[in-house]
Amino acid sequence: MKGIDEYNYKNKTVLLRIDINLPLDPLTKKIVSESRIKKSIPTIKALLEKGAKLVMIAHQGDTLDYDNLIPLKEHAEKINACLEKPITYIDDPCGPAAQAAIAELRAGEGILLGNLRYLTEEVSTFENAIKLKPEEMEHTYLVRSLLPLCDYYVNDAFAAAHRNAPSMVAFQRLLPTAAGPLMEKEITALDRIMEHPKAPCVFLLGGAKISDAFGMMRQVLQTKRADLILTSGITGEIMLMAKGYSLGEKKETFIKDRGLDVFLDAAKEYLEQYPEKIRVPVDLAYEKNGKRHSLPVEKLPQPEMFMDLGDESIKLYEKEIARANTIFVNGPAGVYEKLPFEEGTRRIWKAIASAKGYSVIGGGDTVSAAQKYIALQDVDYVCTAGGAMVRYLSGRELPLIKAMKSARAE
Ligand SMILES: Nc1ncnc2c1ncn2[C@@H]1O[C@H](COP(=O)(O)OP(=O)(O)O)[C@@H](O)[C@H]1O
Ligand SMILES: O=C(OP(=O)(O)O)[C@H](O)COP(=O)(O)O
C-alpha cells in the first residue's frame, strides 16, 4: 500500500474517503462524539497543505441504521472548527451540484460532499443483496460521476473497511491510490497484536455484540496470540452457562430472546480446548433496593438480573491486567450506562490506563466508556473502528484491504 507522501498532489483533484460516521443524540440528531472527525483532521490538513483540490466523501447512518441517517452539514462545521481555511459542504453526494463544486475547486481548497448513504449503491441493504465485485462497480452512479473529475484516490476510512461499497473498493483500480495516515496507524496498532504480541497477551472481551467476541476468540486462541482471555459482559455470562451454571430465569430469558444462546456450543468448545486460557467471572453483580451486590457463581441460580462483574472478579481481572504486556479490549464489562453497574467497566478501564503493557481498545461503547472513566491518552492506541477491527483481528480478509493490496500506483 502506498502512503499519501508518495504522490505530488499540487493542483490535482484528490478524492478522499473518510469515516466520520458518528453517534447522534436520538432526539436532537446532533453529534454527541466527534472523535472520528478529530482523527481524520491530520489527513485533511496534510492533503490541503500539499496543494490538493480536496473532495471528501463519507457516510452517516444507513438503511439499517436509519435513526442516524442525516446530512453531513454538522460534520462539515466540526471539520471547519479544526481548520484555518474552511471547507465547503455540498449537500449532494455526486450529482450535478457536487460535480460543479469539484470543477471550481482551486489548489488548497476542500469540499465535503453529501452523505453517501443517500445513494442506493452505498447502503448495506443494496450491498448485501446485490454483491457487486469492485470491477462491476465502475458502472455505479458514484464512480461514473466522480471518476472523470478526480486524479487521485486516498482511503482513510479503516472503520468502514468491512463494507464492500463503491466508495470503499471501486476507485483503487481506476486511480493512483494511497492509504491515509490514519488507516496506516490503525493497521500498525492491530498488527502489533496480530503479529508478535509481547507475552503475556491478554484479551478482555465483554459487551453485548458477542458474535464479534466469539469469532475473535477462536482466532486468537488457535493462533496462540492470546495467553489469556478475560471474559465479561454477556460473553462472560455465556461462558458461565457453558460451564453448567444457570443464571436464573430473568437473565437466561434476556439471552435467549436475543438469540445469543447460539454461542453456547462455541463457548463449550473453547473451554474444553483451552481451559487454562479462558477466565470466567467468579461472581456477578445485581441491584437490590438501589444497592449493588455481588453474588459468587457457586450460589447461582438466583432470580436477580445480573448486569456486571462482581467485586471479586474485578479484583482478579485487575491483577491480570497489571501483569500483561499486551492488552486488547472490546466490549464493556457490564451495563456501564447504569450507575450500580458501572463499577466493573470503570475499574477495569482504570486498570488498563495504568497498566505497563501496550494497550489497544476499540468499539463504539468501549471507547465511550473509556472517555467516561479515563484519559484516552493513557491507552496506547484507540482504534476508530468497531466491526472492521474485530473482523481484522479475527483473521478475515476485509474488502478494503483486498482492494488496497491490488490498487493502482501512478
Ligand atoms: N452483562 C451484561 N448484560 C447486558 N448488557 C450488557 C452486559 N455487559 C455489557 N452490556 C452492554 O453491552 C453494550 C456494549 O457492547 P458492545 O456493543 O458489544 O460494545 P462495543 O460497541 O464496544 O463493540 C452496552 O450497551 C452494555 O450495556
Ligand atoms: O461505524 C462504523 O462501524 P462500527 O459500527 O463497526 O464502528 C462504520 O462507519 C461503518 O458503518 P456502517 O456499519 O453503517 O457501514
Pick from 308, 279, 313: nearest CA to 296: 313
**Has residue 189 been placed in a domain?**
no
Pick from 386, 392, 375, 340: nearest CA to 65: 386
Residue 113 and residue 220 in one domain: no
Residue 87 and residue 134 in one domain: yes
Residue 282 and residue 140 in one domain: no
Residue 348 and residue 320 in one domain: yes
Residue 45 and residue 172 in one domain: yes
Ligand 1 atom showing the smallest separation from residue 338 Cα: 27
**Has residue 343 been placed in a domain?**
yes
**Has residue 391 been placed in a domain?**
no
Name the domain count of the chain: 2
User: Ligand 2 pocket, 122 CB below 6 A?
Assistant: no
**Has residue 361 been placed in a domain?**
no
pLDDT at 196: 87
**Has residue 244 been placed in a domain?**
yes
CA–CA distance, 110 with 56 (Å, rounded to integer): 7
Residue 162 and residue 235 in one domain: no
The three three-digit cell numbers of residue 83, written as one number: 481548520
Residue 143 and residue 228 in one domain: no
What is the ipTM metric for this complex? 0.94
Residue 174 and residue 221 in one domain: no
Residue 96 and residue 25 in one domain: yes
Q: List, as residue ranges, the binding site for substrate.
A: 19-21, 36, 59-62, 117, 163
User: Ligand 1 pocket, 107 CB below 6 A?
Assistant: no
Query: Which residue's alpha carbon is at the smallest distance from atom 6 of ligand 1?
Result: 335
Residue 292 and residue 153 in one domain: no
Which CATH number belongs to the domain containing residue 157 in this structure? Answer: 3.40.50.1260
Residue 159 and residue 55 in one domain: yes
Of 325, 340, 356, the residue that ends a domain is: 356
Ligand approaching nearest to the C-alpha of 370 = 1
Pick from 397, 385, 348, 399: nearest CA to 369: 348
Residue 314 φ/ψ, nearest 5 degrees = -60, -45
Domain that holds residue 57: 4-180+398-405
**Has residue 319 been placed in a domain?**
yes
Q: How far is the CA of 246 from the centre of ligand 2 (A)?
A: 34
**Has residue 190 been placed in a domain?**
no
Q: List, as residue ranges, the binding site for ATP.
A: 337, 363-366
Residue 111 and residue 213 in one domain: no
Tell me the pLDDT of the chain (410 aa) as tens digits.
899 999 999 999 999 999 999 989 989 999 988 989 999 999 999 999 999 999 999 999 999 889 999 999 999 999 999 999 999 999 999 999 999 999 999 999 999 999 999 999 999 999 989 999 999 999 999 999 999 999 999 999 999 999 999 999 999 999 999 999 999 999 999 999 998 899 999 999 999 988 888 989 999 999 999 999 999 999 999 999 999 999 999 999 999 999 999 999 999 999 999 999 999 999 999 999 989 999 999 999 999 999 999 999 999 999 999 999 999 999 999 999 999 999 999 999 999 999 999 999 998 889 989 999 999 999 999 999 998 999 999 888 999 999 999 998 77
Ligand approaching nearest to the C-alpha of 21 = 2
Q: How far is the CA of 219 from the centre of ligand 1 (A)?
A: 21
User: Ligand 1 pocket, 364 CB below 6 A?
Assistant: yes
Ligand 1 atom showing the smallest separation from residue 367 Cα: 22
Ligand approaching nearest to the C-alpha of 17 = 2
pLDDT at 209: 85
pLDDT at 292: 96
Ligand 1 atom showing the smallest separation from residue 336 Cα: 27
Ligand 2 atom showing the smallest separation from residue 157 Cα: 9
